[in-house]
């Protein structure tokens, strides 16, 4: 897209005036929590070095200490030119830092953020000075099951499918310079029926009574300007409708789809009276997602989902992508295997991943990282961050499903507990209140309450048994009269199947024979046996008449879990064309 800048961390809301702060920082552990008392933010002690945004647990950080440390500190100097302070604000952005992050600039406390996966920012204008500036950051983490942690272990040793923890800054840290009044966010909803965009603007520091503000949108496709419209803004969160194509211009609307991921460029200019005070570049896709009966439709064509589960871990950097190229490589591997989408599991990925899914036409199920306890603290921690995640990623056309909870993690008694059922349903309606354009799967895999799609997790390795489980004449699993997978029912008590689409959203998980690590069922002896088992399981799911798609576990090995189609170094275990041929047989 025209707005694209390599390594730019927020690719759907681009300003040209920015600075990447990734790289070498001073770093220290603070196991006794004495840094604030000793005022590390005024004089940083003797320390080691760390390469941000990689956490101390990883090889690429330069430290690679996998033990648990609850408190870490970062420090570095930056230079800010006089003209940048005179004419603009300075915004310090964090794409992700786990879990409680405090910031000091030049020894003065700026603020804090609680959360691990969503973006947050600080306006540091009044703390910054011309020339050299000192940034000090404290991050507190824990093994608490009350904070969203996804696949990060909550014990001091890894086990099962829980991996080494991620502590501190794990996504890009960056500066941007904005005007005194600027666009904080733009929420954009394409309307396929009227070929318009509903645009909701979020401004900062405004006074609508004394001055007039306008937003000008310029829309183009493949270099052709289709419309340029200016609308007055009378208040914050103002909604305006803008035609995609101006009357008199010839253009056939190009919808975003898997095979043709068409995207439109859009540029936003914010005016105060007649002066341009902010300029942001972006893009959007026009597509229509619907559920009709037990089928899913994309642009009025039935959509059969062929997803692969992706944990988003790398051997040398864990949750942090080693580079933008590594994200692109994974997406291209997904396509090489013949899948049309990715279930990004228990993680909110770097937003550059979503950009490349938008560009390459890859569908995304966006899933939140789970807590593992149910109490008032976990409800607040989870809900606060989930709201931010949905708002942050709303504009990406590749996202077709929101998944707040997986396998009853964080709501372990949801089958019978009304409070936990109420929480699951609250997340459903809360998500729908922010975004009514996408389906919501409230509790993926087990014990559904209210949900737009019903999903099943079944790791049986015998294809015949798998078939018999779901094609019995009485449909016991669908009617909730039978446990599947040996322990779970498809619906929580008081809920039943109401004709929604059904997806086998986890299956397979086949590992090739190895002395280390695990997969589901017995390890396949060799590549030939893996292909045979994969073929039988996948063809069986396709033969179940009421199933609208599947998600295979998984894309790559992760630490002790070795059931990927690629190993941890992203080497193919099987020629991807073989898997592609199986996926494409329907």
Same domain? 376 vs 479: yes
Give the residue from 430, 406, 379, 413 showing the smallest Cα distance to 492: 413
| The pLDDT value given to residue 514 | 82
Same domain? 346 vs 275: no
Mean pLDDT of 163-190: 96
Q: What is the pLDDT of residues 198-231, one digit of tens each?
A: 999 988 765 666 788 899 999 999 999 999 999 9
Same domain? 55 vs 143: yes
| The pLDDT value given to residue 88 | 87
Cis peptide before 387 (omega within 30 of 0): no
d(CA 314, CA 331): 14
Alpha-carbon distances of 502 from 87, 179, 341, 422, rounded to whole Å: 55, 49, 16, 23
What average pLDDT is seen over the chain?
95
- Specify burial of residue 464 (Cβ count, 10 A radius: 0-12, 13-18, 19+): exposed
| The pLDDT value given to residue 506 | 98
Task: For residue 12, tell me if it sits in a domain.
Answer: no
Same domain? 274 vs 295: no
Task: For residue 13, tell me if it sits in a domain.
Answer: no
Alpha-carbon distances of 371 from 323, 381, 440, 553, rounded to whole Å: 28, 9, 19, 21
Asked if the model's pLDDT at residue 503 lies above 80, the reply is yes
- Number of structural domains (the chain) is 3
Task: For residue 169, tell me if it sits in a domain.
Answer: yes
Q: List the domain range (segments joined by +) for residue 573.
A: 289-583
| The pLDDT value given to residue 291 | 97
Q: Please tell me which residue, 104 or 234, carries the higher pLDDT value.
A: 104
Stated as kind and residue range, the H or E segment containing 380 is helix 376-393
DSSP state of 163: B
Q: pLDDT grade, residue 62 (50/70/90)?
A: very high
CB 30 within 8 A of CB 294: no
**Last-in-domain residue among 178, 208, 239:** 178
d(CA 148, CA 154): 11
Same domain? 51 vs 98: yes
Q: SS3 for 467?
A: helix
Same domain? 88 vs 163: yes
Stated as kind and residue range, the H or E segment containing 197 is strand 196-203
Q: 3-state SS of 496-555?
A: CCCCCCEEEEEEECCCECCCCCECCCCCECCHHHHHHHHHHHHHHHHHCCCEEEEEEECC
**Last-in-domain residue among 126, 157, 178:** 178
Give the residue from 26, 77, 30 showing the smallest Cα distance to 48: 26
Q: pLDDT grade, residue 586 (50/70/90)?
A: low
CATH code for the domain of 195: 2.60.40.10
Q: What is the pLDDT of residues 360-419, one digit of tens each?
A: 999 999 999 999 999 999 999 999 999 999 999 999 999 999 999 999 999 999 999 999
Treating both helix axes as pointing N-terminal to C-terminal, what angle do 324-336 and 351-360 enclose, rounded to 10 degrees? Answer: 40
Q: Please tell me which residue, 262 or 479, carries the higher pLDDT value.
A: 262
Asked if the model's pLDDT at residue 236 lies above 80, the reply is no
CB 215 within 8 A of CB 270: yes
> Residues 142, 147, 149, 153: what is their CA dihedral angle, to the nearest 10 degrees?
40
d(CA 123, CA 276): 21
Task: For residue 271, tell me if it sits in a domain.
Answer: yes
Same domain? 266 vs 214: yes
d(CA 513, CA 1): 44
pTM of the model: 0.97
Same domain? 464 vs 512: yes
Same domain? 416 vs 392: yes
Same domain? 81 vs 190: no
Q: pLDDT grade, residue 104 (50/70/90)?
A: very high
DSSP state of 370: P
Q: pLDDT grade, residue 559 (50/70/90)?
A: very high
| The pLDDT value given to residue 229 | 94
d(CA 443, CA 409): 9
Same domain? 438 vs 510: yes
| The pLDDT value given to residue 475 | 85
Treating both helix axes as pointing N-terminal to C-terminal, what angle do 418-434 and 376-393 enclose, rounded to 10 degrees? Answer: 20
DSSP state of 36: T
**Last-in-domain residue among 127, 146, 178:** 178
Same domain? 369 vs 472: yes
d(CA 233, CA 552): 47
């Amino acid at each position: 897209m025209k707005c694209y800048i390599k390594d730019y961390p927020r690719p759907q809301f681009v300003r040209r005036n920015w600075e990447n702060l990734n790289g070498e920082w001073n770093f220290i552990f603070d196991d006794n929590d004495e840094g604030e008392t000793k005022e590390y933010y005024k004089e940083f002690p003797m320390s080691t070095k760390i390469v941000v945004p990689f956490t101390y647990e990883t090889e690429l950080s330069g430290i690679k200490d996998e033990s648990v440390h609850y408190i870490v500190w970062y420090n570095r100097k930056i230079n800010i030119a006089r003209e940048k302070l005179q004419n603009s604000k300075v915004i310090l952005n964090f794409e992700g830092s786990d879990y409680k992050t405090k910031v000091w600039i030049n020894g003065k406390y700026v603020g804090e953020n609680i959360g691990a996966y969503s973006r947050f920012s600080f306006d540091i204008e009044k703390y910054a000075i011309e020339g050299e500036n000192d940034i000090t950051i404290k991050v507190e983490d824990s093994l608490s099951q009350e904070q969203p942690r996804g696949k990060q272990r909550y014990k001091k040793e890894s086990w099962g499918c829980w991996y080494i923890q991620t502590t501190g800054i794990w996504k890009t840290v960056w500066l941007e310079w904005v005007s005194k009044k600027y666009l904080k966010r733009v929420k954009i909803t394409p309307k396929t029926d009227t070929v318009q965009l509903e645009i909701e603007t979020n401004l900062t520091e405004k006074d609508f009574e004394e001055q007039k503000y306008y937003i000008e949108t310029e829309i183009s496709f493949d270099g052709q300007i289709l419309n340029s419209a200016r609308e007055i803004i009378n208040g914050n969160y103002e909604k305006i409708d803008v035609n995609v194509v101006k009357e008199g211009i010839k253009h056939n609307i190009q919808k975003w789809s898997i095979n043709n991921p068409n995207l439109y460029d859009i540029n936003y200019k914010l005016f105060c009276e007649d002066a341009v005070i902010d300029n942001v570049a972006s893009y959007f896709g026009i597509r229509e997602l619907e559920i009709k009966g037990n089928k899913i439709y994309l642009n009025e064509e039935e959509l059969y989902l062929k997803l692969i589960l992706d944990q988003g871990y790398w051997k040398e950097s864990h949750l942090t992508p080693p580079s933008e190229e590594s994200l692109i490589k994974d997406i291209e591997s997904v396509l090489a295997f013949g899948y049309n989408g990715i279930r990004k599991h228990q993680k909110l990925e770097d937003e550059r991943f979503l950009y490349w899914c938008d560009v390459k036409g890859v569908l995304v199920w966006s899933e939140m990282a789970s807590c593992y306890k149910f109490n008032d603290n976990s409800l607040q921690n989870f809900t606060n961050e989930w709201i931010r995640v949905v708002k942050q990623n709303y504009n990406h056309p590749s996202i077709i499903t929101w998944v707040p909870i997986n396998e009853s993690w964080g709501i372990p008694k949801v089958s019978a507990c009304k409070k936990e059922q109420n929480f699951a349903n609250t997340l459903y309606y809360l998500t729908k209140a922010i975004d009514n354009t996408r389906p919501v799967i409230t509790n993926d895999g087990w014990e559904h309450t209210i949900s737009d799609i019903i999903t099943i997790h079944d790791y049986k390795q015998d294809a015949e048994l798998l078939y018999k489980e779901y094609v019995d004449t009485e449909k016991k699993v669908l009617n909730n009269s039978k446990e599947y997978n040996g322990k779970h029912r498809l619906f929580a008590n008081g809920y039943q199947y109401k004709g929604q689409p059904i997806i086998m959203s986890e299956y397979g998980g086949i590992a090739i024979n190895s002395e280390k690590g695990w997969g589901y069922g017995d390890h396949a002896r060799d590549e030939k046996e893996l292909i045979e088992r994969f073929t039988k399981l996948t063809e069986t799911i396709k033969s179940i008449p009421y199933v609208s798609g599947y998600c295979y576990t998984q894309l790559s090995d992760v630490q002790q879990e070795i059931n990927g189609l690629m190993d941890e170094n992203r080497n193919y275990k099987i020629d991807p064309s073989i898997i592609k041929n199986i996926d494409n047989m329907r």
